[in-house]
């Protein structure tokens, strides 16, 4: 790959505060299907609006639970890839020089945390914690596949457990929103990695950063609505490009 990463790498090396937004493309090399692209794109086999909304869960809790349980198992079997590890290393490099690093993720697979990233803001929740859809109280679940779907809630007769993800039409967690907004406003460099940049408000944080003078970098396998707008658009696999950016930015 003959990507010229010198200028973006220098911007990272000189940055006091870096914010990274990741999407499904960062977990693709761990074997977790993305949503909108590639052979195994989740949405190709499923219509997002039939599965990732509270209305869908209310209408067909069995199918929605089966889809999320299938994805939950894929997440459990997955291991962090070079992209996750490079981001965790970059966070340590920033910390070592007294800088700030914030990782905003749209992913629900917890692979960033398993790669030992520390300051992770889960914009769309996570797939490992499930809660009572009626009361909101947490529910214990087995690591392996659910023995029955939908999963009866222990907190309310007739209610079921749902994944602690943010569905379309649901508000993002207030704490995540404010942490993301504050970090985006204060950063020198904002990196958008492995996301098609079409889901809001997650896709809007790069505009907050750019409006405050941050340099912007995109790493993505395919062009997105951001590609013409960022300072540097690096087309390629995150697991291949990120290590090149990080190794010399220390
Ligand atoms: C809200 C849940 C309000 C968990 C997800 C019109 C305009 C603007 C906004 C809207 C609109 N109409 C509706 C909306 C709002 C809506 C929205 O943005 N819709 C979009 C589709 C238009 N947003 C919402 O509903 C949000 N909530 O607005 O609430 C509100 C306020 C107050 C009170 C009540 C309500 C909620 C959004 C969250 C939805 N939940 N997931 C789950 O099931 O996982 S979104 C889902 O899409 C995932 O979280 C995913 O992360 C996210 C974004 O997808 P990507 O991560 O980008 O993945 P994708 O496959 O698309 O792209 C992968 C990219 O990687 C590709 O470009 C590919 O080229 C690249 N790639 C692949 N391999 C690699 C790679 N890159 C590098 N290396 C590789 N190896």
Ligand 1 midpoint to CA 14 (Å): 31
Q: Is 124 a catalytic residue?
A: yes
Q: Which pLDDT score is estimated for 47?
A: 72
Q: E strands, the chain, where?
A: 17-22, 100-105, 120-122, 125-132, 138-139, 161-165, 189-193, 215-220, 232-235
- Per-residue pLDDT at 235: 96
- Please state whether the predicted TM-score (pTM) of the whole model is above 0.85: yes
For ligand 1, residues with CB inside 6 Å are 23-25, 28-29, 34-38, 52, 106-108, 124, 165-171, 194-196, 198-200, 220-222, 224, 237-238
- Collect the ranges in the chain with pLDDT lower than 50: 39
Ligand 1 center to residue 200 CA distance, Å? 7
pLDDT of residue 3: 75
The pLDDT of residue 248 is 63
The pLDDT value given to residue 45: 67
Which of 1, 20, 21, 23 to mutate to test ligand 1, by most ligand atoms within 8 A of the CB atom? 23
**What distances in angstroms separate CA 71 from CA 225, 232, 235, one per listed residue?**
27, 33, 27
Q: Which protein residue has the closest C-alpha to ligand 1 atom 53? A: 199
User: What's the chain's Rg over C-alpha atoms?
Assistant: 18
What's the pLDDT score for residue 35? 78
């Amino acid at each position: 790959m003959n990507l010229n990463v010198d200028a973006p790498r220098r911007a990272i090396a000189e940055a006091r505060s870096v914010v990274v937004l990741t999407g499904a493309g960062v977990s693709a090399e761990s074997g977790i299907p993305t949503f909108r692209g590639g052979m195994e794109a989740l949405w190709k086999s499923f219509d997002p609006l039939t599965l990732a909304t509270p209305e869908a869960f209310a209408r067909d809790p069995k199918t929605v639970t089966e889809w999320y349980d299938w994805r939950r198992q894929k997440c459990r079997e997955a291991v962090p890839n070079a992209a996750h590890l490079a981001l965790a290393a970059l966070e340590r490099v920033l910390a070592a020089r007294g800088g700030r690093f914030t990782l905003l993720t749209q992913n629900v697979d917890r692979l960033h945390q398993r790669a030992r990233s520390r300051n992770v803001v889960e914009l769309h929740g996570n797939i490992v914690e499930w809660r009572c859809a009626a009361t909101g109280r947490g529910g214990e679940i087995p690591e392996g596949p659910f023995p029955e779907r939908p999963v009866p809630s222990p907190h309310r007769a007739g209610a079921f457990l749902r994944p602690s993800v943010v569905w379309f039409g649901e508000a993002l967690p207030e704490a995540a929103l404010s942490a993301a907004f504050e970090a985006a406003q204060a950063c020198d460099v904002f990196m958008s990695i492995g996301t098609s940049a079409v889901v809001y408000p997650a896709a809007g944080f790069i505009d907050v950063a750019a409006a405050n003078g941050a340099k912007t970098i995109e790493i993505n396998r395919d062009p997105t609505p951001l590609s013409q707008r960022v300072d540097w658009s690096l087309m390629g696999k995150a697991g291949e490009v990120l290590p090149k950016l990080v190794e010399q930015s220390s």
